[in-house]
Amino acid sequence: MDFQQTLDDLLRYADIVKPMVADVTELLRLHLKRGDNVLFEGAQGALLDVDHGTYPFVTSSNTTAGGASTGSGVGPRELDYILGIVKAYATRVGSGPFPTELDNDLGQHIRDKGAEYGTVTKRPRRCGWFDAVAARRSIFNNSVTGLCVTKLDVLDELDTIRICIGYQMNGMPVEVPPIGAEGFVGIEPIFEDLPAGSATPSASSATPICRSLHVAISSAWKK
C-alpha cells in the first residue's frame, strides 16, 4: 500500500465531509431552547453496556440512557422521558450469560417467527423467556419512564408462556443480578407460568400477560 496515494485519496473526501462538521451540542441546545422535540435512540441492549453490562460480553461503549448525554453533550436534566423497549421474550447475540435461554425446538420456533436473525449477517440470535430480573436492573440503570413491550404476537401459538421472576443458586434465592458474567455461573431462573392462548395485543388474553410482565418487572428487590 502506497502511503502518499492513500493519503491523497482520503484528503479528497475533505470537501465532502467538511460541510457536515458542526458543533452538534450547540445545535441541540438551540433546538431545545426553541422547544423542539429531540429524540435520542439507543442502538444496543442495556446489558451490553461496557460499564454496567455482563462484562466481558459487552460492547465498547455505553448503551444505557446516560450515554445519550455523554455522547451528545446534552445534560441529563434535559432528558425528560426515557422509553424502555423490550421484547415479550429475551434474545442475545453471541456469547454471554443467558439464564432463560431456550436452546431447543421452542427457542427455534421463537427465532423463526420473530425473525431473530442479524439484518446483515443473518446470524441467528439466541432466544429465551422474558427475564424480569434483567429488566428491573436495566430499568434502574436507565431511569426508564415508560415501557414498550414488543413482539407479543410471536408467542401467540404457544400454550404456555414463562416469565423469569427471580434467580436462585444452590437452592437459595439470589436477590440482585450478578455483576459481570462470572457471577452468573450456577444461576438458575425461577419461572412463573402463564396460559398463553393468544398473546396478540388485540386479544383479551394479552391483558393478563401484560399485567404479569408489569408485576414481574415492577416488583421491588428485597433489601
Instruction: Check residue 144 and give its pLDDT.
Output: 92
SS3 27: helix
Q: Grade residue 126 by pLDDT with cuts at 50, 70 and 90.
A: very high
pLDDT exceeds 90 at position 70: yes
Burial class (CB in 10 A: 0-12, 13-18, 19+), 203: middle
Instruction: Check residue 199 and give its pLDDT.
Output: 52
> How far apart are alpha carbons 81 and 83 in whole angstroms?
6
pLDDT exceeds 80 at position 75: yes
Instruction: Give the predicted TM-score (pTM) of the model.
Output: 0.85
Q: What is the pLDDT of residues 151-202, one digit of tens each?
A: 988 988 888 889 999 999 988 998 788 888 999 999 999 998 887 654 555 5
CA nearest neighbour of 184 among 161, 160, 199, 167: 167
Count of beta carbons in the 10 Å neighbourhood of residue 170:
7
Q: Any bridge partners for residue 201, and if so which? A: none
Query: What is the DSSP code string of 59-97?
Result: -SS--STHHHHHHH---GGG----EEEEESEEEE-SSS-
> How far apart are alpha carbons 81 and 57 in whole angstroms?
29
**Average pLDDT of the chain to the nearest whole number:** 88
Cα torsion through 30, 36, 37, 43, rounded to 10: -30
Cell of 132: 424480569
Task: Give me the residue label for grid cell 424502555.
Answer: 84
> How far apart are alpha carbons 203 and 139 in whole angstroms?
27
